[in-house]
Structure 1
Amino acid sequence: MTENSTPPPLRGIVGEPRKGKIGVLIEEHFDMTEYRLFNELFPKHGYQVVYLSHLWGNASLTFGANPDNGWVEEHVLVETEIDSVKPADFKGIIIIGAYASDRLRYQVAPRKGEPNQAPAVVFMRQALATRELKVGTICHSLWLLCADRALLQGRRVTCAHNIICDVENAGAEVVYGPEGTVDLVVDGNLITGKHPGTTEQFITTFLSEIEKGN
């Protein structure tokens, strides 16, 4: 395979569900570091990774990662429509980082005074309302929850520095340390990571939080 050739997409279900399933919301322009580590570490610890998205009436859609090195190195074939599953089907739910989270909150016909009705936003309302279900975000992925202030109001979180204003305007309390936002915050069932460089720490904590309830 040459440097700029397109690799075949990975099927959007990775590993066996020995301990359960981790649902990962995804769209075009997802973070490649997070994607690779999810696929490696969750199956290693006995969890199946299932990528979820709104498929717009298609049986499947293929999404590409951010072109971090000047070309798109990773693609995923998603066959699980987010409207066809429930948060309770999973041990945990994660929103992948990068611009995928902005695309996930798109709604075709917004109406004045009505909360965002994008399928991913509706799904996350259900997920966060299920207090025993762990929900995770890294870096930019809090953008999805910013689509509805009710999802973040009063929650303690961390995030990428360039979306701090969005997150604080959505009512969350961003936690700061000596170098900007802290690496990781656990607030009840919501686990948030600062950026892709914290992904391994995030996964370790996410698994620990899940297994506390087992």
Structure 2
Amino acid sequence: MRPARLEDVDPAEFDGVLIPGGHGPMQDLAVNADVAHVLAALLPDESKVVASLCHGPASFFSAGDPEGGWLFKGRRLTAFTDEQEQQVGLAQNALWLLEERLRGAGAEYSSGPAWGPYVVVDGNLITGQNPASGEQAAEALLKALAERG
């Protein structure tokens, strides 16, 4: 089996999506039209699940709603904190900081202590703050998929 190209994916064929972290999403996925298509198809459908971890929510910036607004405005979520970015020494080299930009775009951002696990579930949206949140985010994703299955 070969990986599918994102532009060839039909979101209707999936029960959910998990967008992992790392700085890649901040560079590539925050402006990716194919990711926007997937998110715009899944998030408004309460029978589907959108999950993301660490820097993955940067991909959310690509997704607009039918009225021309941001699809995630007003949604409760978490992501890698600006404090954590400063602690790893990468904040000064970043073009923008994720927490600051999520808040500015209208997300209801919250976080736990730096480097500790912290997960936010807002309906069919599941986000984890950092790598330490991976296990709890995965458990929340599996639970949400089972409830919808």
Fold-level similarity (TM above 0.5): yes
**Normalization by structure 2: what TM-score?**
0.75
Q: Which residue of 2 aligns with 1:143?
A: 58
Q: Which residue of 2 aligns with 1:9?
A: none
Q: Which residue of 1 aligns with 2:139?
A: 204
Query: For residues 207 and 128 of structure 1, what CA distance do their matches in structure 2 show?
Result: 16
Query: For residues 148 and 3 of structure 2, what CA distance do their matches in structure 1 show?
Result: 29
Query: For residues 80 and 89 of structure 1, what CA distance do their matches in structure 2 show?
Result: 13
The answer to whether the Cα contact below 8 Å between 1:91 and 1:133 also exists between their aligned partners in 2 is: yes
Query: For residues 82 and 210 of structure 1, what CA distance do their matches in structure 2 show?
Result: 21
CA RMSD, aligned part only? 2.1
Asked if 1:154 is matched to 2:74, the reply is yes
Q: 2:60 corresponds to which letter in structure 1?
A: L
Highest Rg: 1 or 2?
A: 1
Query: For residues 155 and 106 of structure 1, what CA distance do their matches in structure 2 show?
Result: 19
**Normalization by structure 1: what TM-score?**
0.54
Q: Which has the higher contact order (CA 8 A, sep 6+)?
A: 2
Asked if 1:83 is matched to 2:7, the reply is yes
Query: For residues 211 and 79 of structure 1, what CA distance do their matches in structure 2 show?
Result: 25
Q: How does 1:50-61 map to 2 (within 5 A)?
A: none
Name structure 1 gaps, 5 residues minimum: 1-12, 14-77, 108-117
Q: Which residue of 1 aligns with 2:66?
A: none
Q: Which residue of 1 aligns with 2:30?
A: 105
Q: CA deviation at 1:176?
A: 3.8
Q: 2:120 corresponds to which letter in structure 1?
A: V
Higher helix share: 2
Query: For residues 176 and 96 of structure 1, what CA distance do their matches in structure 2 show?
Result: 18
The answer to whether the Cα contact below 8 Å between 1:131 and 1:189 also exists between their aligned partners in 2 is: yes
- Percentage of matched positions with identical amino acids: 28
User: SS state of the match for residue 52, structure 2?
Assistant: strand
Q: CA deviation at 1:141?
A: 0.8
Query: For residues 104 and 158 of structure 1, what CA distance do their matches in structure 2 show?
Result: 17
Q: CA deviation at 1:212?
A: 0.9
User: SS state of the match for residue 130, structure 1?
Assistant: coil
Q: CA deviation at 1:182?
A: 7.0
Q: Which residue of 1 aligns with 2:90?
A: none
Residue correspondences, number: 127
Query: For residues 81 and 176 of structure 1, what CA distance do their matches in structure 2 show?
Result: 33
